[in-house]
Homo-oligomer: A and B are copies of this chain.
Amino acid sequence: MIVSKVSTRFVYFFDEGDASMRDLLGGKGAGLAEMTRAGFPVPPGFTITTEACLCFYAGDSVFPPGLQEEVAAAMDRLEAETGKTFGANSNPLLVSVRSGARVSMPGMMDTILNLGLNDETVKSLADLTGNERFAWDAYRRFIMMFAHVVLGVPKEKFEDRIKDCKRRLGTQSDAQIDAESWKELTREFKAIARNHSARAFPQDVREQLDLAIRAVFDSWNSKRAIDYRRFNKLPDDWGTAVSIVEMVFGNMGDDSGTGVAFTRDPNTGERALFGEYLRNAQGEDVVAGIRTPEKISDLQQSQPQVYAQFAQIASKLEHHYRDVQDLEFTVERGKLYMLQTRSAKRSAEAAVRIALDLVTEGIIDKKEALGRVSAASLDQLFHARINPREQFETACKGLNASPGAASGQIVFDADAAVEWKEQGKQTILVRVETTPDDVHGMIAARGILTAKGGATSHAAVVARGMGKPCVAGCEALQIDRRAKTLGIGDRTLHEGDWITIDGGTGKVIAKKLQLIDPPSELPSWLSKFLGWADEVRSLEVWANADTPQDARKARELGAAGIGLCRTEHMFMQRERLPIVQEMILADTPRARADALAQLLPFQREDFQGILEAMQGLPVTIRLLDPPLHEFLPSLETLLVEVTELRLQKGVESIAFKERNAVLRRVQQLHEQNPMLGLRVCRLGIVYPEIYAMQVRGIFEAACKLKAQGLDVRPLVMIPGVGTEEEMQQTFAAARAVADEVVTESGCALEYEIGTMIELPRACLVAGRIAEHAQFFSFGTNDLTQTTYGYSRDDAEASFIPHYLEKRILKDDPFQVLDRAGVGALMRTAVDLGRSAHPGLKIGICGEHGGEPSSVAFCHALALNYVSCSPYRVPIARLAAAQAALGLIT
């Protein structure tokens, strides 16, 4: 916990602060202060600083010296300003005690309303308002909230009593509960608080205040707040501020009400007030969803002056803050009070469109606009999403653990997911939580839904790694695995029932919904916005694509080249695999050569398609990379099969002999750790004829197109070089074949031969490698594997979730580039490589190439390009611009 430069002052009245003091006063406190200073109608109040909160932690939950005195003095001033007295029997001062960190963490920390009520002041409130029901309703709300937040009493204890009461009264609505019943419930509530906690509900209002402040401080370290910060990568050492504000009441009749509104539509970006208003209600009622609120525009009919005033304030605030605002307000008997203003959270689409509009409106410039959109959020635009025309009810919400929407039939275990998939069914795997034992089911399912676990839970981490939708930690789920039922509230679903999850919002919907696939081309508004990004970025953005289709898609999305075309996927295709297997199982070089000769036309065709799709742009083709046994039947399957044949047909049967021969060969090729075995350029050195065939395929294709007048630019990439000699030998061998083909064809084709830098040793001897290479491309997936000693397949499904949970890892290093380790090696490689080979072109083609923080690091390393999967190209374009502008580092 960092507690530096402790100010001697812990409390600021709203008119003493401003928007610049967000770190000290929290977002809410700074907003209220700024609005107060700007003359907007804000109830009076003051804010206890985040520094006070940090001192409180540092001092083992003891208030720092002076805090209590400052709070007392501020309360005195509040009494003076409001003309009310805290705890007084006549005209009592009531306050809300609200949390507020530097950035909004909605719903994660605690707030207490109506503080200052007790058995005496409630009566004064009844007298003053002439509304006994209102007063007792307010009091019981306060007790409930206080008992829950401060004393830790479960809410249900109270809610059950309210239900009982409504049953007695024969009603379904709280509104039907009369003053006497609330009074009675208040008594019961106090008894519950006493029985279910260590202490009774305090009547002393100063004690109430003291305990409430502590509770808000503590809520910074609640599990859900910590999980939230982990997911959103927020530091733990900010602390929360506490704002204490005079209560205003939206539930004092039909001329009162409470609302939340955005100055523009946060989903579409449309320039119009967007929000909800609930008449005769307190803020919490909106959240609780007890009644359906009106649209904010309806307020225009019912209270036109209030609406006009609010609309004007909203517009002024948007101009004041130069951004779309998310506002909370209350109308008390026709008088408008602003309770909060903050930058509005918005969808990726809205973020882009609003940024474009604000530039058009002259409010911000292009640079600022580029900083207004989180690059990572653009990912949302390229996942399946629920058709907005679908009407549906959200059954419950969990954590938005891995983006994208999925509909499927419920299954409760991993094996079932696999079986159902084999029957052609789509499933959603529903588990209390997942473990490494569930991974096969996660692969088979369309999406994953769990009841427990946060953003770093196994389900969340593994699903993100798979690019599969996941809603995690959805605590409302009651899963009975034996009975194969899923309870959500009163509803019970069974295995095979349809369900939809939206991993981008955390919503769970208990039916099948129509989903929309990502757009096939870039929307014009996004094109325009990314055009601005392109103007400022220095990093080129290329794409990883293995097929002409992917290459065309990448080009549409703005890729300026192919940074990685993997040739192994081409080997896996149905009609080729038998030939590839023949090549691998060959006993003699002659037989191997024959098989390779059969593969050559296929490869030539593959390369021709991609080179054609990318004409005018560079295409980097990586020679064969994976260990050969990836192309053979699985050893485990073969073992079972051969054992069966042995027992059923006998060792003399032809069937046994044939499969046994294959088994033998697969066993010979089997490696303990294939990731560290005979793969990458080692394959091309031990079996030079494989690389020779591939290089021939590339250049025959390129020369053919060149002869047709196309501008083709092939780059040959040697994978996994770790020594100067490997580079030298594979470079020479590839060049010999390339030159031969080019000379044969008689066309003047330019090309380059370079290497993936994906081993620690390659980074450490990069200077020597650079002497024989025309470009470098960092393969950060593999580099991360060896730098950490983590096999991606094994680690992401087993200990990485545990490591994230325990904070041993801040991020999954396969998602976010590790700067201290992998990054240090990259820096070494860049320095050595460029020293030995000035102007050496260097890129990155690991998956990090499409992750904003990693892109920023690549910018800092002065790489020439990043290459990522086609749908991440827009993210990389924006991130590269933000990095160039210093908006991200």
A503 at the interface (CB under 8 A from B): no
Q: A332 to B835, alpha carbons, bound, how many Å?
A: 65
Choose one: B668, B785, B824; the contact of A676 (CB below 8 Å). B785
Nearest residue (CB) in B for A676 is: B791
A167 at the interface (CB under 8 A from B): no
Residues of B within 8 A of A760 (CB): 760, 786-787, 789, 821, 825
Choose one: B674, B680, B768; the contact of A673 (CB below 8 Å). B674
Nearest residue (CB) in B for A759 is: B789
Question: Which residues between 783 and 806 of chain A lie within 8 Å of chain B, taking CB atoms?
Answer: 785-791, 793-795, 798-799, 802-803, 806
* Also in contact, A729 and B794, with CB within 8 A (given A636-B639, A647-B644, A682-B799): no
Q: What are the interface flags for A712-729 relative to B under an 8 Å C-beta threshold, 1 for contact and 0 otherwise?
A: 000000001011011001
Q: What are the interface flags for A482-510 relative to B under an 8 Å C-beta threshold, 1 for contact and 0 otherwise?
A: 00000000000000000000000000000
Task: Say whether B729 contacts A672, CB under 8 Å.
Answer: no
Distance in angstroms from A372 CB to nearest chain B CB is 34
Residues of B within 8 A of A885 (CB): none
Q: A799 to B722, alpha carbons, bound, how many Å?
A: 14
A288 at the interface (CB under 8 A from B): no
Q: What are the interface flags for A797-821 relative to B under an 8 Å C-beta threshold, 1 for contact and 0 otherwise?
A: 0110011001111000000001011
Residues of B within 8 A of A188 (CB): none
Residues of B within 8 A of A287 (CB): none
Max count, chain B CB within 10 A of own CB: residue among A677, A729, A785: A677
Choose one: B722, B764, B820, B821; the contact of A789 (CB below 8 Å). B722
Task: Say whether B764 contacts A720, CB under 8 Å.
Answer: no
Question: Which residues between 674 and 726 of chain A lie within 8 Å of chain B, taking CB atoms?
Answer: 674-678, 680, 682, 685-686, 720, 722-723, 725-726
Task: Say whether B636 contacts A808, CB under 8 Å.
Answer: no
Q: What are the interface flags for A638-655 relative to B under an 8 Å C-beta threshold, 1 for contact and 0 otherwise?
A: 011001100110000000
Q: A824 to B832, alpha carbons, bound, how many Å?
A: 13
Choose one: B673, B725, B765, B790; the contact of A808 (CB below 8 Å). B725
* Also in contact, A759 and B787, with CB within 8 A (given A672-B675, A677-B794, A677-B798): yes
Nearest residue (CB) in B for A785 is: B676
Choose one: B678, B682, B725, B788; the contact of A761 (CB below 8 Å). B788
Task: Say whether A820 contacts B765, CB under 8 Å.
Answer: yes
Choose one: B677, B764, B822; the contact of A820 (CB below 8 Å). B764
Q: A335 to B673, alpha carbons, bound, how many Å?
A: 68
Distance in angstroms from A226 CB to nearest chain B CB is 16
A740 at the interface (CB under 8 A from B): no
Residues of B within 8 A of A722 (CB): 788-789, 821
Residues of B within 8 A of A791 (CB): 671-673, 675-677
Nearest residue (CB) in B for A765 is: B820
A137 at the interface (CB under 8 A from B): no
* Also in contact, A437 and B668, with CB within 8 A (given A760-B787, A795-B677): yes
Residues of B within 8 A of A785 (CB): 676
Q: A758 to B685, alpha carbons, bound, how many Å?
A: 28
Residues of B within 8 A of A808 (CB): 685, 723, 725-726, 729
Residues of B within 8 A of A824 (CB): 764
Residues of B within 8 A of A768 (CB): 820
A436 at the interface (CB under 8 A from B): yes
Max count, chain B CB within 10 A of own CB: residue among A673, A725, A759: A673
A218 at the interface (CB under 8 A from B): no
A349 at the interface (CB under 8 A from B): no
Task: Say whether A788 contacts B759, CB under 8 Å.
Answer: yes
A635 at the interface (CB under 8 A from B): yes
A51 at the interface (CB under 8 A from B): no
Distance in angstroms from A647 CB to nearest chain B CB is 5
Nearest residue (CB) in B for A681 is: B808
Q: A818 to B764, alpha carbons, bound, how many Å?
A: 11
A328 at the interface (CB under 8 A from B): no
A782 at the interface (CB under 8 A from B): yes
* Also in contact, A761 and B782, with CB within 8 A (given A643-B644, A682-B799): no
Nearest residue (CB) in B for A720 is: B789
Nearest residue (CB) in B for A786 is: B786
Task: Say whether A764 contacts B787, CB under 8 Å.
Answer: yes
Choose one: B676, B764, B795, B798; the contact of A794 (CB below 8 Å). B676
Distance in angstroms from A780 CB to nearest chain B CB is 13
Residues of B within 8 A of A674 (CB): 672-673, 794
Q: What are the interface flags for A47-68 relative to B under an 8 Å C-beta threshold, 1 for contact and 0 otherwise?
A: 0000000000000000000000
Distance in angstroms from A606 CB to nearest chain B CB is 27
Distance in angstroms from A215 CB to nearest chain B CB is 30
Q: What are the interface flags for A757-772 relative to B under an 8 Å C-beta threshold, 1 for contact and 0 otherwise?
A: 0111100110010000
Choose one: B676, B680, B809; the contact of A723 (CB below 8 Å). B809
Q: A795 to B821, alpha carbons, bound, how many Å?
A: 25
Nearest residue (CB) in B for A824 is: B764
Nearest residue (CB) in B for A821 is: B761
Task: Say whether B673 contacts A793, CB under 8 Å.
Answer: yes
Q: What are the interface flags for A247-268 relative to B under an 8 Å C-beta threshold, 1 for contact and 0 otherwise?
A: 0000000000000000000000
* Also in contact, A821 and B764, with CB within 8 A (given A794-B672, A794-B673): yes
Distance in angstroms from A614 CB to nearest chain B CB is 30
Question: Which residues between 411 and 436 of chain A lie within 8 Å of chain B, taking CB atoms?
Answer: 436
Max count, chain B CB within 10 A of own CB: residue among A726, A760, A793, A799: A760
Residues of B within 8 A of A765 (CB): 820-821
Q: A824 to B821, alpha carbons, bound, how many Å?
A: 14
Distance in angstroms from A70 CB to nearest chain B CB is 37
Task: Say whether A676 contacts B676, CB under 8 Å.
Answer: yes
Question: Which residues between 812 and 842 of chain A lie within 8 Å of chain B, taking CB atoms?
Answer: 818, 820-822, 824-825
Residues of B within 8 A of A758 (CB): 789
* Also in contact, A799 and B672, with CB within 8 A (given A723-B808, A729-B806, A786-B760): no
Residues of B within 8 A of A685 (CB): 799, 802-803, 806, 808
Residues of B within 8 A of A640 (CB): 639-640, 643
Residues of B within 8 A of A647 (CB): 643-644, 647-648
Q: A677 to B809, alpha carbons, bound, how many Å?
A: 16
Q: List 18 A-B contacts (CB under 8 A).
A: A636-B636, A639-B643, A640-B640, A640-B643, A643-B643, A673-B675, A673-B793, A676-B794, A677-B791, A685-B803, A726-B808, A729-B808, A759-B788, A760-B760, A760-B821, A764-B787, A764-B824, A765-B820
3 smallest A-B Cβ distances: which pairs? A676-B791, A761-B821, A673-B791
In the complex, besides A677-B790, A686-B799, A764-B820, 6 extra interface pairs with C-beta distance below 8 angstroms are: A647-B648, A673-B675, A675-B791, A682-B799, A686-B802, A722-B789
